[in-house]
Amino acid sequence: MDKQGPKIGLLGGSFNPAHSGHLEISLTALERLGLDYVWWLVSPGNPLKSEANMASFEKRFESAEKITSDERIIISDIEKKLETRYTIDTLLELNKSHPETQFIWLMGADNLTQFDQWKDWKKIAETVPFAIFNRPSYSKPSFESVAAKYLIKYRIDESEAHTLYERKPPAWVYCFENNNPASSTELRNKL
C-alpha cells in the first residue's frame, strides 16, 4: 500500500464490558503488526447482538477506559459520532476522512466464525487488511467458517504479520499466540 500515515488497528466491539482479552489482542497487534495505535471502536449498537443485556454506551465506554492505561490504545466513540452501526460504513467513512492512514481491522477468532453474517463482509475484506487473534476453543471453528474458506487464498503466514499493513486487501493473518479465555458474556454472568 502506498499510504504514508500512521498504522492503526481498529478493534470494534460492544465492550460489554471491556476485558483483558481486548487488551491482549491490542498489545499483540501493536507488537506483531507494527502498529502505531489501536483504536477501540465502542459500538453504539451491534446489529448481531441482542440489546437485552447490553449496558448503556456510556458504561461500556467507561469500562474500556478503565481497563487500559497504554497511550497507544485510544478509546473511540467515532461510530456514535458517525452514526454508523455497520463495520463497512465505519471503514468507508474512516478511509475518506483519514486518506493517509493505514488501517487494519482486528478481531477475535470468534468473530471470524460469524463474519459471513456481517453486512458486506466481502467488501470489508476488500477495504482493509485484517488480523484474526486466537481465542481458546475458536481456532478450529474459525478456520471451518464460510468466510475463512472463501478468503483462505488471501491469508499470509503468521511470520509475515509485520508486513500486513503493506498488503493490498484482501489480505489477512491469523495470530495463534493469544490464549486469553476472557469473555464479556462470562463477565456479565458473574456480575
Q: What is the pTM of this model?
A: 0.89
Instruction: Write the pLDDT tens digit of every residue in 93-148.
Output: 999 999 999 999 999 998 999 999 999 999 999 999 999 999 776 677 788 999 99
- Residues composing the chain: 191
- Report how far residue 20's alpha carbon sits from residue 3's, in angstroms, rounded to the nearest whole number: 31
CATH superfamily to which 7-190 belongs: HUPs (3.40.50.620)
Low-confidence stretches of the chain (pLDDT < 70) are: 1-2, 46-50, 137-138, 178-191
Tell which residue, 110, 98, 126, has the closest CA to residue 36.
98
Domain boundaries, the chain: 7-190
∠ CA 84-25-116, rounded to 5°: 50
